[in-house]
């Protein structure tokens, strides 16, 4: 992807919302004639819990890209959009903001989580990923609501 190309960053976390968020990002990128950077962020440098729909399992950081590649291809196969896959480790908002700034993205797209007890506490203490991402980099942040 060239530096003058329109680029949209989509941040995914390896959970059941990813397909829905990726489809929404793909449709937006198609309309905007933009390419996508599909970024998976793992908070732990050693392991990532992946919900495959059958049984959750752990992947090492090195195995993230090959494991998610089929889902990305399946989610975007019928859309005329170029994309690349990036795997990141660390705090989601910080890692996504670094990519957004480095690549001068036009927008960042993330999914909205439901607020269970743990997430409510995390949000009170540290804010949501979308809010923090909006504060850490200049591109607009689009939040995709849950499909259900």
Residue 56: per-residue pLDDT? 47
pLDDT tens sequence across 11-62: 998 778 899 999 999 999 999 999 999 998 877 655 445 544 444 445 555 5
* Boundaries of domain holding 140: 7-144
Within a domain: 68: yes
Q: Which residues share a beta bridge with 57?
A: 50
Residues 41 and 13 sit within 8 Å (Cβ to Cβ): yes
Within a domain: 138: yes
Q: Both tokens of residue 54?
A: 């059958």
pLDDT tens sequence across 76-111: 999 999 999 988 888 899 999 999 999 999 999 999
Domains: count for the chain:
1
Q: Both tokens of residue 103?
A: 């690549």
Within a domain: 2: no
What's the CATH code of the domain at 36?
A: 3.40.50.620
- Length reported for the chain: 148
């Amino acid at each position: 992807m060239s530096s003058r190309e329109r680029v949209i960053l989509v941040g995914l976390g390896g959970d059941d919302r990813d397909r829905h968020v990726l489809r929404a990002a793909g449709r937006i990128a198609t309309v905007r004639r933009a390419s996508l950077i599909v970024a998976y962020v793992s908070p732990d440098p050693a392991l990532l819990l992946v919900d495959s729909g059958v049984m959750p399992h752990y992947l090492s950081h090195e195995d993230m890209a090959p494991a998610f590649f089929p889902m990305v291809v399946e989610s975007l196969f019928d859309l005329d959009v170029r994309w690349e896959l990036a795997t990141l480790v660390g705090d989601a908002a910080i890692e996504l903001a670094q990519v957004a700034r480095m690549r001068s993205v036009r927008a960042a797209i993330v999914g909205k989580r439901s607020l269970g007890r743990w997430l409510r506490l995390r949000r009170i203490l540290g804010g949501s990923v979308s809010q923090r991402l909006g504060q850490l980099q200049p591109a607009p942040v689009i939040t995709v609501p849950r499909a259900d």
